[in-house]
Chain A
Amino acid sequence: MPPTALFVLRRVAQLVPVVLMIAALNFVLLHLAPGDAADVLAGQAGHATPEFVEELRREFGLDRPLHARFFIFVGKVLALDLGRSPIQQTTVAKLILERLPATLLLMLSAILVATVLGVLLGVVAAVRHNKWADRLISVAALVAYATPMFWLGLMLIVLFSVYLDVLPSGGMAKIGSGYTGAAYALDVLQHLVLPAATLALFYVAIYTRLTRSSILEVYRLDFIRTARAKGLPERSVARHALRNALLPVVSLAGVQLGHLLGGSVLVETVFAWPGLGRLLFDALMQRDVNLLLGILFVSSVVVILVNLLVDLLYARLDPRIVYK
């Protein structure tokens, strides 16, 4: 078996117990909280009798003891059945699948913008090292890194949506517009600009600084001097340098995915973006444990898978990496 395949297989095999452990720990954590979905539903109904509430508990299996519910939960997870949300009255899987594309779209756009823009600015800064362009970019990056994401989002709404009125204030697409195909894509793109920009800015700053320092570091290394001594054109040298410099950027991108999911909670709230981040927050406030566990489970799996992809990408970029 080729080493790549073995590597992947081993990592996937490690995945299962980790994910199960995550699920178990999430479960315990969430059940520490006082109050449950039956309380919330009864409260929303306005005037509920104790029988009503007990009935709800029985409906959703909330009256069983904790360990019984835990085993039911584990069983379901293994069967990939994420259960049902009592508060939203549909299956968890359906809710997650409805919102997942929106979050993925937002996160991937943000990562793309952040990476491209970040690397570009980082290269410029490194090349124009210690000149005014470098200083400007570095300071801007520092400030961007220190700016709270939600605050930035609100300011952008006020500027672009209210005063300038060039971009929509929220949502993913214009309701009832009936757009299809290219028109729909354009509409979504318009709605995507501000939230993606807000989410991306923080990471643009990180990638800019990382790329810059990485390039500067690499340029000092021996193999660059060797390449130059051999008479390779500068462009070739640059390409080698970039390839090496990008390694930390790639590995960081994978790690940042987790942070991006956290940031998406804030950004999705401010921009009413119909994604998982906001769903998670609402589920938490409503004690919708099934939904919460489902979201945390799915996001953990996604993070692990992305880390796996990143490791593979890393290995391709740097053939010196030997799989243990």
Chain B
Amino acid sequence: MIKRELAGLMVALAVLLAAVAGTEAGEPKRGGTLTYTLHPEPTALSTIATTAIPVATIASKIYESLLEYEGPFLTPRPGLAESWSVSPDHTVYTFKLQRGVKWHDGTPFTSGDVKISIEKVVKPYHSRGAAYFGQLERVETPDPLTVVFRLKQPVPYFLKAFQPTESPILPKHVLDKLDLSDAKSVRQSELMQKPIGTGPFRLQEWKRGSHIILERNPTYWKPGRPYLDRIVLRVIPDGAARAIALENGEVDLVPMSSVPPAEIARLAALGHVARSDKGTEGLGPIMWLEINLRKAPLSDVRVRRAISLALDRKKITNVIWFGQGKPATSPIVSGGQYHDKSLKPFEHDPGKANALLDEAGYRRGPAGVRFKLVQNYQPYGESWVRQAEFIKQELGKIGIEVETQSLDFGAWLKRIFTDWDYEFTANSSHNYADPSIGVQRVFHSGNIKRGASYTNSMGYTNKRADELFDQAAVETDGAKRERLFAEIQQILREELPVVPLMELDWIQLWNKRVHGLITNGISIYTGWDSVWVE
């Protein structure tokens, strides 16, 4: 009798525990709408047209690539490819594709789609296509479910290339109708505005200036996914209005630091809002002062070191950027595998800076001014302006008179990257999945190209660094590669062609009714098929 009662008690307890566990951990629920807001409004729905952040964010729900990724370091997992193998010399990659995948218009997905997308569209027209597939010799499709990539030389980061924003697979039956030899016809094609992908969501409605609605793909190849019925992008041009919308529950998610920095702390303190700097660390965001090495006295490394010594990176991080990140020690972000951990934090020592400038021969004039500089900054928002004001103050204290120049985006790009007509500018950059993609382009002398944005605008030439970059681009041994990049970072620390300031995180804010958002280092740029709402 007692046994039966005990058993009954145990069962009741188990049921209770299960119920509690169920609500605590939360079972994904089918259905519901996720509304997010991001500024500015995307101009296309494919990253072939442009890899701007708003486009990358939304296109990654519609298009997919061969792989998915896990964790902050982007460990590859099956995506449109269910398995893969690599040849011992790392020049042949064979992917086996998933069965039963359909395009949004019902056409079956095959290896032919992969071949034409990578060879004819991503490699020539994606802004990082050359970085990923520069060594691609050809793509073979022995059968409809197998794709083989043959590379001329090993590419150690090759498997990182298959992110939905970096190499989206586009439909062959649509691409065949376009003239793929002409960039214009590809980028202005209807496919860019009315996408057809394999992803968990497809376009339902786009009302410019107001909203974009994505609806669930009922024939998505993952069973039971996606959980959401709809994803809605609400266009709200004003940052304060976006913050209010999140607070009022009118939107559920604001990714990529799309509210004013002061609002982030306030919103995060609200009971119903969650905050995270994860979900984008795989992009490796970093911020520095880019210095035009052609102009005196900035060509003198002592001046650059003095500038670095004068800046209190802790204050920049905590006051200007409201603690959203940490001071940088290298152009390679600390989250990544190749960051040199032995680098010490940059010193803040105005006394040393003054001494250095005196020693270098730039004495103070009658008004206490040694020389004048003009500063620019990336015109992305308020905090950049505050930072410029701060830098002006701090450099003033060591005798450098700074005049701040306010330029809009087009003028700034032209000045910095086409005319090379600047002295120093605050700039942000991404490492992307590997330093060979995001860092090499800034410091390799082969990338001193007039008119190409986010390249080596400083005019930095260091033969040893170039050698190291070239070696690292094809070195498949992880430990050797780490040593190569470590040496590069030592050189960059010595020479300071840029003055690293801060690893500026992208912050995500969302209503706690949203679950399953952060799954890896590039979550914001993934399909969100595992996201669900209460």
Contact = CB atoms under 8 A, between A and B. Distances in A.
Are the chains A and B members of one assembly?
yes
Given A46-B128, A54-B451, A171-B236, A89 B410 contact: no
Given A39-B413, A176-B232, A50 B211 contact: no
Interface in B118-173: 127-128, 130-131
A105 B340 CA distance: 58
A320 interface: no
Interface of B: 33, 35, 40, 43-44, 49-52, 127-128, 130-131, 183-184, 187-188, 192-193, 207-211, 213, 230, 232, 234-238, 240-241, 244-245, 247-248, 250, 408-415, 417-418, 430, 441, 449-455
Contacts of B241: 157, 169-170, 270-272
A59 B184 contact: yes
A39 B452 CA distance: 9
A35 B414 contact: yes
6 contacts: A34-B414, A43-B453, A58-B184, A269-B238, A282-B237, A285-B409
A38 to B, nearest CB: 9
Contacts of B248: 161, 165, 169
B333 to A, nearest CB: 16
B480 to A, nearest CB: 26
A143 B250 CA distance: 34
Contacts of A154: 240
A274 B209 contact: yes
B13 to A, nearest CB: 43
Interface of A: 33-37, 39-50, 52-55, 58-59, 87-90, 95, 98-99, 102, 154, 157, 161-162, 165, 168-176, 268-272, 274-275, 278-279, 282, 284-287
B450 A175 contact: no
A95 B193 CA distance: 14
Contacts of B410: 33-37, 39-40, 43, 285-287
Nearest to B412: A35
Given A46-B52, A170-B241, A285-B408, A175 B209 contact: no
B193 to A, nearest CB: 6
Contacts of B183: 55, 59
A87 B188 CA distance: 11
Contacts of B247: 162
Contacts of A37: 410
A312 to B, nearest CB: 33
Given A45-B52, A48-B454, A89-B193, A34 B209 contact: no
B409 A170 contact: no
A282 B213 CA distance: 22
A299 B35 CA distance: 34
Contacts of B131: 47
Contacts of B414: 34-36, 39
A49 B245 CA distance: 39
B179 to A, nearest CB: 13
A43 B409 contact: yes
Nearest to A57: B451
A284 B411 CA distance: 11
B413 A171 contact: no
B306 to A, nearest CB: 30
A35 B209 contact: no
Contacts of A44: 50-52
Given A47-B127, A87-B43, A169-B250, A39 B49 contact: no
Contacts of A42: 413, 451-453
A175 B237 contact: no
B414 to A, nearest CB: 4
Contact of B211 (A54, A169, A176): A176
A98 B209 contact: yes
Contacts of A89: 43-44, 49, 187-188, 192-193
Given A43-B454, A47-B51, A95-B208, 7 more contacts: A33-B411, A35-B412, A47-B127, A50-B450, A176-B35, A285-B410, A286-B410
Shortest 10 CB-CB contacts between residues of A and residues of B: A35-B410, A274-B209, A287-B410, A35-B414, A44-B52, A50-B451, A45-B127, A170-B241, A169-B244, A43-B413
Contacts of A165: 248
Nearest to B35: A175
Nearest to B243: A169
A50 B237 contact: no
Contacts of B193: 89-90
Contacts of A46: 51-52, 127-128, 430, 453-454
B210 A274 contact: yes
Contacts of B208: 88, 90, 95, 98-99
B230 A176 contact: yes
A272 B452 CA distance: 33
Identify the interface centre among A53, A88, A278: most chain B CB within 10 Å of its CB.
A53
Contacts of B449: 49-50
B452 A50 contact: yes
Given A34-B414, A45-B51, A279 B127 contact: no
A168 B250 CA distance: 9
B52 A52 contact: no
Contacts of B50: 41, 44-45
B237 A286 contact: no
Nearest to A102: B209
Nearest to B251: A175
A49 B244 contact: no
Contacts of A278: 209, 237
B444 to A, nearest CB: 13
Nearest to B211: A175
Nearest to B419: A34
Contacts of A275: 209
A47 B411 contact: no
Given A35-B410, A35-B414, A157 B43 contact: no
Contact of B245 (A33, A34, A170): A170
A215 B237 CA distance: 43
